Amino acid sequence: MILTPQERARFLRTRWTVFWLLVGSYMMVYFHRMAPAVVSADLMQAFGITGAALGSLAATYYYIYTAMQIPSGVLADTLGPRRSVAAGALVAGVGSILFGLAPDFAAASWGRFLVGLGVSVVFVGLMKSNSLWFADRQYGRISGLTLMLGNLGSILAAGPLALVLAGVSWRDLFVAAGVVSLVLAVLTLIFVHNRPEDAGFPSVREQEGLPPHPPRERHWLPELRAVLGRRDVWPGFWVNFGVTGSLFAFAGLWGVPLMRDLFDLDRAGASLYTTAALAGFALGSLQAGWLSDRIGRRRPVIAGGAALSCLAWLGLILLPWGPGWSGLLLYALLGVAAGGFVVTYAAAKECLAPSVAGMAIALVNTGLFLGAAVTQPAFGWVLDQTWDGSLRDGIRVYAAADYRNGLWLSFGFALIGLVAALRVRETYGRHL
C-alpha cells in the first residue's frame, strides 16, 4: 500500500515521535546503570560499606533487571511498548527518588531494586517498537542508532556527572533523575503508539507492497517455550553474558575506583576514562549495526567484537599503561569491542517469527545483565580477598595486584563470550 506524500510525511513524524520518546526513557536506563561508578566513594562513605557490599548495592539493579528480561519480552509482545515502557518509567522514577532520599543501606537497596525493576522493560519494548516501525533491512542500523543514543545517558553518567557533583549532592541528582522518568512516563502514554496500525497507517511491510506478518494465534506461554527451546538463539545470550556484561560491570562501578586508587586521580579525572569506554561503546554499537547490514552478515561482526574485547582486557592486565592516551585508548577499546553485541539482537529475532521478536530479544538481553550482575560483586569480592587494610577517608583503597585479579576475572568472562560468538547462527540479515 503506497502512501501519498502527505501521508508519508505524517507517518514519518509519528514514527520518529515514538522513537524519540522511547529513546528518552532508554537514556535514563543507561544513566542509572552507570552512575554508581561516579558516586562509588559517596556511597561507601554514606553507608559505611565494603567493596563487596558496594558491588552488591550497584548490582541490585542487575539482579532484578536480569530476572525481568523474559517477562519484559512477554509484556512487549502482549501489552505492547506503550503501556510496558510507561509503567516501567513510572516505577523507575519512584525508585530513583527513594534512592536519593535513602537514610540507610537497606532503603538504598530497595530504591536501586525499584529502579532496576522499572527500567528492565524499556529496552525490549523499544526494540520491539523498532521491529514494528522500521523495515527488516533497516533493523541493524536502527539498533545501532538506538544503542548509540542510549549510551549518551551513560556518557552523561560519567564525566559530565562528575562535574555536576561538584556543585550538587548525589542525593539531589537522583531525585531529579526520578522526576525526569515520571515526566517521560506521562509523555509515553500520551504520544506513543504500539504499531503503525494503531495510528491509522498500514504496517511497514504493507507500505513496501509485502503481505503483513500473520498475527499471534497462540497464547504467549507456548510461544515462550518455543523461544527458550531454540538452540540457535542461546549463543547470543552467552556473548552478552561474557563480553558486554564484563564491560557494564567495569564501566558501571569499578573503572573509576581503579583510576583513583592506582593513579591518585580525583573523581572528575578518573571518570574521563569510563567516559571514553562508554563513548567507544556508543560508537561501536552504531558502526557494528551499520557494518552488519552493509555486508549482510551477523556472525563475523559479533565474533570480531568478542575477540577485540579479550585483547583489550589483556592489554589492561599486561601492558605498561597509565593515565593519558594509553589508558584512554584501552578503556575506549573495551567499549568499541563490546559494541558488536548490538548485532546479537538482530541475529536472535531473525531466527524466529516476528510475533515473538520481543521474547527473542529479551532472552539474548538476559545474558548481558546476568553477566553484569555476577561480575560486579564478584570483582569487588576478588578485590577484598587480597586487600591490605588501607583506608582513605574511611574508604577502602585497593592495590594494583588486587585490581589485576579483578581484570583477569573480566577477561575470563569475555573469553566465554568469544567461544559463544563462534557458534552464532548466520542469518544473512533476513528472517529464516
DSSP assignment string, 273-340? HHHHHHHHHHHHHHHHHHHHHHHT-SHHHHHHHHHHHHHHHHHHHHS---TTHHHHHHHHHHHHHHGG
With cell 575470563, the residue in question is: 412
User: What is the pLDDT, as a whole number, of residue 214?
Assistant: 60
Q: What CATH number does the domain located at 5-202+220-421 have?
A: 1.20.1250.20
Q: Which residue is listed with cell 597509565?
A: 322
pLDDT on residue 88: 94
pLDDT in tens, 232-289: 778 889 999 999 999 988 987 888 889 988 998 887 788 889 889 988 988 888 888 7
pLDDT tens digits, one per residue of 182-221: 999 999 999 999 888 888 888 777 777 666 666 655 666 7
* Confidence label for 114 from pLDDT (cuts 50, 70 and 90): very high
| CA 407 – CA 126 distance, rounded (Å) | 33
Whose cell is 561503546? That residue is: 281
Q: Is the Cα torsion angle 21, 302, 417, 346 positive or negative in sign?
A: positive
Assign 377 a pLDDT band (cuts: 50, 70, 90). Answer: confident
**Please, which residues bridge with residue 249 across strands?**
none
pTM of the shown model = 0.70
pLDDT, residue 370, reads 87
Average pLDDT, the chain: 85
